[in-house]
Amino acid sequence: MYHPVYRAFFTTQYICGLRISEGINLPPENVKAEQRLLRVVGKRNVERFVPLPDALLKRLREIWPLHRNPTRVFASNTQRPVVQKTLYEAFHAAREAVGIQHTVDHVFRHSYATRLLERGVQLPIVQILMGHRRLSSTMIYTHLTEPVRDGLHQTLDSIAADLL
């Protein structure tokens, strides 16, 4: 239904917490297969390494023969790197096809951070994986997680039980 390179792009964005510009500019040498890491160069040239799951590495290896662009992981069949406008169009088409309204592709990055926090990854680690300079930038994701809310209820219930 959708071009495999676009699908791989958005999957990578979701699984690794990439900004769209980070994915567009991702060179093949930044895929560190042996270490199972992805080297990401983000805003203000801040470098970070994020874990690269085996299933995603397999997907990236599957799309490579479709374009074999020597400078970009994500490229069209004609070897031209994917461009932001085309990715936005693909995202909006997919979104409309499944009936989702009022969301942007950056939701993948937000979902990455939220998913990590929900699974118990400590906030400073999420900060590093997101490439945030300040912890306050990462803290915006804490209010979204059910485990944080559930944990708070359990803590308050425990305090109340001790007092009452």
Q: Which residues are catalytic?
A: 19, 43, 106, 109, 132, 141
CA dihedral 137, 88, 119, 160 (to 10 degrees): 60
Residues 118 and 105: their CA atoms lie apart, in Å, by 21
| DSSP per-residue string spanning 66-108 | HH--SS-SSB-TTSPBP-HHHHHHHHHHHHHHTT--S--TTHH
**CA distances, 93 to each of 48, 83, 101, 102, 122 (Å):** 31, 16, 11, 13, 35
SS3 44: helix
Paired tokens of 67: 């374009």
Task: From 16, 21, 131, select the one nearest 74 (Cα to Cα).
Answer: 21
